[in-house]
Amino acid sequence: MVDAVIYVRPENYSASAARCLDYCAARRYNVVGLVPGDWDAAMRMLREGTASVVVVSAAEHVEHRPGVEIAPKPSSRRRAGARAAGNAARSRWSGGTTETTAEPAAARHYRY
């Protein structure tokens, strides 16, 4: 299992930490530390072998080095595509039905 340390900048701590934790969970990394704002401490953990990778939330937070991984921002494409697919299915199946009754459909089966 890969041991990871998460580096976050203090000004956007909660969102950055959540993104990095999700990234580590998706890759099944073992999080061994969360370092807020001390880049030298995170790199020291990498050099000493305490961690195999340093995970950051944005490329501008650090200089790119081997062993540093950037957690990507969540993509909104999937949500937009799912919404469009749902709208297409709704219009396909509800377009031709103009019949409106107060009687439930299940009750029609029990008429004598």
Q: Express each pLDDT in 34-58 by its tens digit.
A: 999 898 999 999 999 999 999 998 8
SS3 call for 87: helix
Paired tokens of 43: 């790199």
Angle at 18 between CA 80 and CA 63, to 5 degrees: 100
Greater confidence (86 vs 7) lies with 7
Q: What is the pTM of this model?
A: 0.64
Confidence of residue 72 (pLDDT cuts 50, 70, 90): confident
